[in-house]
Amino acid sequence: MVAPVLPLLLLLLVSGLLPCQAAFWANSPPLFQNSQNVRSFTKDNFTAGVLMSDVVWVVDFYAPWCPHCKHFAPHFEDVADHYSESTTVKYGAVDCTTEDKLCAEYEVMGYPQLRLFNLPAKGSKPLSMPFRHNGKKFDGVVTWVEEVFAEHNQTTGVDLPDFDLYKVNGHGGTAPPKKQHLRPD
């Protein structure tokens, strides 16, 4: 008789905790609100900013409560910084906790999810970054972007970094070396 009671108790315990977790997750701030090179998009500005744009957009669909998204965000910002001078590719992000319909429209099923828009031309079907071991780090994203551009006989206009010069950073991946400002002697 005890066995049927245990699953019921577990169900009650889990269902009681879920609203608390949801409330905790709902209070997570957006990940890119202070970024200079990652533009935040909503349903109100996505069509004009991304779909009607003449440049290629790499968009990170994320949830601010997601640990993988929090881990990936600094890498994505580093990639956006690397391409900041490019006139052909820009970087953006969509918070799927506030833009759930936009994320559903693009069938975002997990986070973080990278989509590349407008390649080979404006209005093209977005391309998803395939799963790769260590792919969601600086070097993985840069390599993917450059490969996709090359597949379409296009260029980002930015030199591919020498990954051997990059060091392992505190985020568990490679990142560009920080620029040092030297004072003249």
96 is catalytic: no
Pick the catalytic residue: 20, 66, 96, 103?
66
Q: What domains lie within the chain, and their CATH numbers?
A: 38-175 (3.40.30.10)
Query: What does the pLDDT read at residue 167?
Result: 52
Give catalytic status of residue 66 as yes or no.
yes
What local confidence, expressed as pLDDT, does residue 180 receive?
Answer: 41
Cis bond before residue 74 (omega within 30° of 0): no
Backbone angles phi, psi at 66, to 5 degrees: -75, 125
Q: Which of 20, 69, 96, 103 is catalytic?
A: 69
What torsion, rounded to 10 degrees, do the Cα atoms 89, 93, 96, 101 define?
-50
Q: Structure pTM? A: 0.76
With beta carbons less than 8 A apart as the criterion, state whether 105 and 94 touch: no
* Cβ within 8 Å of residue 127, ≥6 positions away: 115, 116, 119, 148
pLDDT in tens, the chain (185 residues): 555 655 544 444 444 444 434 444 557 889 999 999 999 999 999 999 999 999 999 999 999 999 999 999 999 999 999 999 999 999 999 999 999 999 999 999 999 999 999 998 888 899 999 877 667 888 899 999 999 999 999 999 998 777 665 555 544 455 555 544 343 43
* Tokens coding 97: 């906790």
Predicted local distance difference test score (pLDDT) of residue 118:
96
